[in-house]
Chain A
Amino acid sequence: MADISINFAGIKSPNPYWLASAPPTNTGYQVQRAFEAGWGGAVWKTLGEPVLNVTSRFGAHSFNGQRVAGFNNIELISDRSIEENLKEIYETKKRFPDRAIIASLMVEPKREKWHEIVKRVQDVGVDGFELNLGCPHGMSERGMGAAVGQHPDLVEKTTLYAKEAAEVPVITKLTPNITDITTTARAAERGGADAISMINTINSLMGVDIDTWNTIPNVNGMGAHGGYCGPAVKPIALNMIGECARQQDINIPISGIGGISTWQDTVEFMLMGSGGVQICTAAMHHGFSIIDDLVEGLENYLDDKGIASISEIIGASVAKYTDWSHLDLNHKKVARINNDICINCNKCHIACEDTAHQCIDMLTDKKGDGYLEVREDECVGCNLCSIVCPVDGAIDMVDLTPTEPPMSWNNRQSALQMLNN
């Protein structure tokens, strides 16, 4: 059996699955239930000055019958007293000493405030801190959360303040509501962060009720933007992680967050540079028991691949993520339809005909049965047909044997420059 335990920036965990700082980690009761179910760690719901919350708080994006394709919330940090939280953290850690408990913190970007809370929480025994510099709603209006996370200088300073007092690893959690996340990642590293985690939730309005014209969700008829997460944000998170992971000057571990719902997602995030993952929406949708398949699927995957430890896959795909200008212009990929698997829904034809490159023909064979065929010389290999195809294996995207050596845009430009010189 493959070893799936991790040592993330010095924080040990029996598996790479932590519950993200969010409603599922609000109380000791919840975190202990999660640990009983098998979660490797939990980032406790953000501690700070207790807040007042509103009802309602959550909204979800359903698509063609699939519930919770995306999810958002306008809930703030913990609305329970710090004393209460610390007592439960202590009890939980005592009961589950092998699991990672990371305290998420948020206070104003002032040195004394950070020193005070770090020391106070440290005293009950936590494995690390996560600085919540990303919460996009509510707290940001009070100069905290994303209001800090959007300013690289404040990210650096806040990280520094926490580090000054912390005796355990500090993870700086970054907001995606920024043009270039590598800027704040570098700032966190400059501030001394032991690791960064990303992404926090994305500014969002879930919808407008077309009968009442109220926002979704709404509080007594009024709404405010919330934080978007869930499966729909996975590609955004994955890109931001990949962008940070591939920077030569960012050299601290990344805790991957954003739409992770399955063990496959976990593998993807780790291949793209995450040293561990944090999950929230999937647990909110289905409960803590999803950990069973998350763990087992991951172990089976590694065993099937003959990989002894999960640490071997961390960052293994990062070198494959680059700038567009490095991509091979001479590479040729085309679609091929397997007519024995194809069910003739013609979705590839109409997608290509109406919205791509008009190279899939609807034909009739000698028996009078319809079939589809790609005119390969006109196919640009865009993938659209294989994306809309409802049957696995009916369309293969095939790499053609190269007729010319690889040439990227950069290669081409420098070759042209040499010619001109």
Chain B
Amino acid sequence: MENLLQNLMSTEDLADNFKESKPSYNAQEALDEANRCLYCYDAPCITACPTGINIPSFIKKIASGNLKGSAKTIMEANPVGASCARVCPTEELCEGACVLNDSTKPIMIGDLQRFATDWAIKNEQVLFKKGEKNGKNIAIVGSGPAGLSAARELGRMGYEVTVFEGKKEAGGLDTHGIVPFRLPKDISLWEVEQVENVGVEIRTNVEVGKDIFTDDLVLNYDAVMLAVGMSKVPKLGIEGEDLAGICDAIELVEETKNKNYSAEFAGKRVAVIGAGNTAIDGATTSVRLGADNVQILYRRTEAEMTAYEFEYEFAKQEGVEFRWLTAPKRLIGDNKGYLKQMECVQMELQETGSDGRRRPVEIQGSEFLIDVDIVVKAIGQTRHTHIIDAFGLEHNGGVVKVDPETYLTSNPKVYAAGDAIFGKGIGEAMVVSAAQQGKETAYAIHQQLVESRTECV
């Protein structure tokens, strides 16, 4: 039966499942929606956007047919604005702030942003120019949203910027970590190209700490920015974790971004551990790979889950089941080393812990078994602690400590932004926040280098 199902799902079928799921606006839809915008003064959508995109302005430019100007307004404020059009929790940001929430319905800002940036992508627009060289050079470690945004701004200001990227392709989370049916890789790679267009050199397949030494970076560059994001999903720390059939949600998504669609999921029973946005990605990816049954196991309840509301809704629509107050205890394999069952335990919530959330505690004797072929881990991400340590930076469990104003680390030449500084109750994990931090880091670096130059004179 399983083999039959595998055979039934052709590669084309699978590829179709991973195409961008939401259709883009056609020109008429975009025009109609753009014409609904009131063009507010001191518009709350601008304030609600972490990168401060002048939203009424870009929307009016769609309405007037000035799509190049519209895309430029978006990308000016947000160097990863095409990705953000797809991945931002707009209901909580710009669209949530739209004044029309109080009269009719909010403007679909994300869809309009996608329309304008898609136009720029299709028409191969180059929106920004490199600045006149100022003789200073900057190294950026990591080419995700924070690194790219900083690089773009520094390039425009005339810095010679080199971005070091360990993977084969640049773009970080947007390129590798967000499910392709929400954010196709091409979109992120176009943003990378836009950054290269301002003279930024992106050196891929270079692992800092291995292929190039951190000391050399600090020595050879006027400033270094650490934008390494986060790493793999940690181990569950339970028995049976080495069985065949256990995988990492981040790696699973990355495979599909590279158009490698695993044949292992077709007809299978999949359990995803965790209830953040990555868990949703792991679950919906499993569905699209042909899994027969996909359930998300979470040791807390719906109220505590960290996934965005729209992600949760999306997963439910995809047929993903949710088991609340359930934690894995043991993974059980067959005699060939393949996962067959998982022992789980019921949890209950007790008093509020130090992180402000109620603490889940096992209910004694409530263990039970579920039949499962694949377990997808999505219980958070580990940190690139070895790189942070190689730079000798102060950190808190892998979260780099920075000055919140300047993003300067404990090393006066090294800055950090993005997911590398997110966690332990500080900051925001959104792509759009990383983009803004990247911009702010660039301005802070510029400020410091300009100031030091003034002092020399």
Contact = CB atoms under 8 A, between A and B. Distances in A.
Co-complex (A, B)? yes
Interface of A: 64-65, 343-347, 349-350, 362, 390-391
Interface string B20-37: 000000000001100100
Given A343-B100, A343-B103, A345-B99, A65 B35 contact: yes
Given A64-B63, A390-B103, A391-B103, A346 B35 contact: no
A386 B136 CA distance: 55
Nearest to A64: B35
B351 interface: no
A344 B44 contact: yes
B35 A345 contact: no
Contacts of A344: 40, 44, 99, 102
A390 B41 CA distance: 13
B39 A343 contact: no
Contacts of A346: 40-43
B37 to A, nearest CB: 10
B35 A390 contact: no
B191 to A, nearest CB: 30
Contact of B41 (A64, A345, A391): A345
Given A65-B32, A390-B103, A345 B38 contact: yes
B10 to A, nearest CB: 43
Interface in B68-118: 99-100, 102-103
A349 B41 contact: yes
Contact of A343 (B32, B41, B102): B102
Given A343-B103, A345-B99, A350 B35 contact: no
30 contacts: A64-B35, A64-B63, A65-B31, A65-B32, A65-B35, A65-B63, A343-B99, A343-B100, A343-B102, A343-B103, A344-B40, A344-B102, A345-B38, A345-B40, A345-B41, A345-B43, A345-B99, A346-B40, A346-B42, A346-B43, A347-B38, A347-B39, A347-B40, A349-B42, A350-B41, A350-B42, A362-B42, A390-B38, A390-B103, A391-B103
Given A65-B32, A344-B99, A346-B41, 12 more contacts: A343-B102, A344-B40, A344-B102, A345-B43, A346-B40, A347-B38, A347-B39, A347-B41, A349-B41, A350-B42, A362-B42, A390-B38
Most buried by B among A65, A344, A345, A350: A345
A158 to B, nearest CB: 46
Interface residues on chain B, size class: 10 to 19
Contacts of B38: 345, 347, 390
Contacts of B100: 343
Nearest to B100: A343
A391 B42 CA distance: 17
Interface string B316-353: 00000000000000000000000000000000000000
Contacts of B63: 64-65
Contacts of A65: 31-32, 35, 63
Pick the 7 closest A-B CB pairs, nearest first: A350-B41, A65-B35, A346-B41, A343-B102, A345-B40, A343-B99, A345-B99
A349 B32 CA distance: 26
A343 B98 CA distance: 9
A362 B99 CA distance: 15
Contacts of B99: 343-345
B41 to A, nearest CB: 4
B57 to A, nearest CB: 14
Contacts of B44: 344
A391 B104 CA distance: 10
A350 B56 CA distance: 14
Contacts of A350: 41-42
Nearest to A351: B41
Contacts of B35: 64-65
A343 B101 CA distance: 8
A154 B288 CA distance: 80
Contacts of A347: 38-41
Nearest to A353: B41
A343 B31 CA distance: 23
A262 to B, nearest CB: 21
A200 B225 CA distance: 71
A349 B42 CA distance: 10
Q: Please indicate which of the listed interface residues B32, B41, B103 has the most CB atoms of chain A within 10 Å of its own CB.
A: B41
Interface string B179-204: 00000000000000000000000000
Q: Most chain-A CB neighbours within 10 Å: which of B35, B38, B100?
A: B38
A172 to B, nearest CB: 42
A64 B41 CA distance: 19
A207 to B, nearest CB: 14
A343 B100 CA distance: 7
A345 B103 CA distance: 11
Contacts of B41: 345-347, 349-350
A311 to B, nearest CB: 40
A344 B63 CA distance: 22
A347 B42 CA distance: 9
Contacts of A391: 103
Nearest to A388: B38
